[in-house]
Amino acid sequence: MLRDSPPNPWAQSRLMSDRPAARRSNFLTDIVDADLAAGRHTKVVTRFPPEPNGYLHIGHAKSIALNFGLAQQYGGVCHLRLDDTNPVTEDTDYVESIQHDVAWLGGNWDGEVRYASNYFGQMYALAERLVTDGKAYVDGQTVEEIRKNRGDFTTPGVASPYRDRPIEESLELFRRMKAGEFADGTCVLRARIDMGHANVLMRDPLIYRIRHAHHHRTGDEWCIYPMYDYAHPLEDAIEGITHSICTLEFETNRELYDWFLDHTGPWNPRPRQYEFARLALGYTVMSKRKLLQLVVDKRVSGWDDPRMPTIVGLRRRGYTPESLHLMHERTGTSKAGGWTDYSVLEGCLRDDLETKALRGMAVLNPVKLIMTNWDDVMGAGHLEPCSQPALPHPPEGVEPPPARHFTIGKEVWIEREDFEEVPPKGYKRLFPGNKVRLKGGYVIECTGCIKDIDGVITDVLATVVPDTKSGTPGSDAVKVKAAITWVAVANGVNAEVRMYDRLFLDPHPDAGGKDFIESLNPNSLKVVTAIVEPSLANALPDQKFQFERHGYFVADRVDHVQGSKPVFNLAVGLKDSWGK
Ligand code: ATP
Ligand code: MG
């Protein structure tokens, strides 16, 4: 869908382009500065190259912020390239979702969305050139033999018996591989580098393998597919990428990256690979394969389950693009890895929503409070209008949104935990004889409670103190030590509220080969029926709120129906709960 309208208008006004002044400085900007100063490049061209074999996750968000951000900082461009060289695991659904996620994050890619498969023809031609130049050969060993003969860190490799076959013979065999004459696994094309090389990856790495598989874009046109280490540098070079940024695991591949470019060029510009430390987030798994397993095994409701670290999951959870960019800023770009605490991510959301999310009152665990003198002092059936600011501290220069309106009557819902028959030490909320303020309403004095035959409290009793309505002249004549949240029985609306907790109980669920499934938190989702004030029931899907004192919540993008069926997800609590 976005494929045909690539320069994404949404991105224009947002994020990266919002803050050209935010000059980042890290080891990559040092490299770019030096390249520009030395005249090696005049324009910075980066790329974000996801493989379309799953949905993007929070780690990709970092790579997106980095690649698009670097290009923007230097007035260059960033390409969105789908690295679709493996036909077996890839899917068009993923292709679509990736484009949406990148666009949502404000990634404004240059030109069309690009596909590695667009370059299959060029890659093949360059491979023929390597064969002709004596730099590649067709090997008839099995993949197991090749692996065994590669040696390891301490043992040099053993040359293939086919390594010195005549160029003409390799060329003919390679053409027959392409023509589909051989079954999968019969032979491969290998680079002819050095079987005794200190870097094992340089010991005649594979370039092409046979795979009779349907590709989501090229269909059945190809039955040989290039290996990542060969394809990636060529994709970069063909697109004129100047700075090819990847994560540290690819450090040892860099030598091979350079070898392939040196033997297929000259390329201008000549791309260079740079590595940074990937984002590893506590209590999270990030491998797409593992995320897929959670989805397939129905451990979560889908890729966009609000507990998932996917972009779609985070979005449904209430995360904003701005909060994810803030996360990138705070975690920085460096070569030093390590785990990032989940609380850092949550802090970013809290800080972003603080000045944006409208306020509202919701009672998550309701018990009814009855003001027994209401009819006498306020009038039978009287409902008193109240109002409160929707955003108490709007950012500077931002027009505050209209106030919220609701009413108060004889009966209101309060949180069960706000009443104690026998108050623990220091308890300041409702207990017989104590006064509190119903936030934005009146001061009340607690007189007792009613219980059912099992001893469960069904009603809390109180009297209203007249002339104490918030915002009226006499309102603070009566001093109280606490204000509690509430929703009037007369206009409260039932809402489904999904209280999420961490998905895993282990801070490093898949470290050291652990089975991450074993540390799934059985209580990561609790659904409650809450009672919310009318302004919340009128939320638009995806709108974020601060439920006063509880935390930030978002109207669910999928299940919430404005006005008639409110559904909210807990995005993040008001305080850090990870240290507990
Ligand atoms: P996975 O292991 O989840 O499948 P991947 O690295 O294979 O991840 P790609 O689709 O190849 O996924 O990644 C696209 C880009 O995103 C790459 O440039 C990769 O370096 C980057 N990336 C992936 N994971 C992270 C991460 N955790 N932190 C930073 N960048 C990442
Ligand atoms: Mg990958």
Predicted structure pTM score: 0.92
The secondary structure of 442-455, three-state, reads CEEEEEEEEECCCC
| pLDDT of res. 14 | 39
Cα separation, 528 vs 567, whole angstroms: 10
Nearest ligand for residue 94 CA: 1
Residue 279 CB less than 6 A away from ligand 1: yes
| pLDDT of res. 16 | 44
298 counts as catalytic: no
Q: Are 58 and 284 in contact (CB under 8 A)?
A: yes
Residue 52 CB less than 6 A away from ligand 1: no
422-460 burial code (b ≥16 CB/10 A, e <16) = ebeeeeebbbbebbbbbbbbbbbbbbebeeeeeeeeebb
Residue 271 CB less than 6 A away from ligand 1: no
Residue 443's beta-bridge partner residues? 437, 465
Strand-pair category, 358-360 with 544-547:
parallel
288 counts as catalytic: yes
Count of C-beta atoms within a 10 Å radius of residue 30: 10
Task: Among 247, 273, 284, name the best residue to mutate to test ligand 1's pocket (greatest count of ligand atoms within 8 A of Cβ).
Answer: 247
Q: Considering only CA atoms, which of 300, 230, 224, 204 is closest in space to residue 504? A: 300
Q: Considering only CA atoms, which of 83, 82, 93, 90 is closest in space to residue 53? A: 90
Task: Classify domain 133-227 by CATH number.
Answer: 3.90.800.10
| pLDDT of res. 2 | 36
Amino acid letter, 331:
T
| pLDDT of res. 108 | 96
Q: Does domain 362-484 have CATH number 2.40.240.10?
A: yes
Q: Are 374 and 394 in contact (CB under 8 A)?
A: no
H/E stretch holding 60 reads helix 58-73
Tokens encoding 402: 């209209």
**What is the full DSSP assignment across 314-383?**
HHHHT--HHHHHHHHHHH---S---EEPHHHHHHHHHHHHHTTSEEE-EESSEEEEEETTHHHHH-TT--
CATH 2.40.240.10 range(s) for the chain read 282-332+342-359+490-580, 362-484
51 counts as catalytic: yes
Q: Considering only CA atoms, which of 281, 285, 312 is closest in space to residue 299? A: 285
Nearest ligand for residue 232 CA: 1
Q: Can you state the percent helix, strand and coil of the chain, rounding each to 5?
A: 30, 25, 45
Task: Among 26, 58, 60, name the best residue to mutate to test ligand 1's pocket (greatest count of ligand atoms within 8 A of Cβ).
Answer: 60
Nearest residue by C-alpha to atom 8 in ligand 1: 287
pLDDT tens, per residue, the chain with 580 residues: 333 333 332 233 334 444 444 578 999 999 999 999 999 999 999 999 999 999 999 999 999 999 999 999 999 999 999 999 998 877 889 999 999 999 999 999 999 999 999 999 999 999 999 999 999 999 999 999 999 999 999 999 999 999 999 999 999 999 999 999 999 999 999 999 999 999 999 999 999 999 999 999 999 999 999 999 999 999 999 999 999 999 999 999 999 999 999 999 999 999 999 999 999 999 999 999 999 999 999 999 999 999 999 999 999 999 999 999 999 999 999 998 889 999 999 999 999 999 999 999 999 999 999 999 999 999 999 999 999 999 998 888 888 999 999 999 999 999 999 999 999 999 999 999 999 999 999 999 999 999 999 999 999 999 999 999 999 988 888 999 999 999 999 999 999 999 999 999 999 999 998 999 999 999 999 999 999 999 999 999 999 999 999 999 999 999 999 989 999 999 999 987 766 5
Task: Classify domain 282-332+342-359+490-580 by CATH number.
Answer: 2.40.240.10
Residue 547's beta-bridge partner residues? 360, 551
Residue 49 CB less than 6 A away from ligand 1: yes
Q: To 10 degrees, what angle do helices 321-331 and 342-354 make?
A: 130
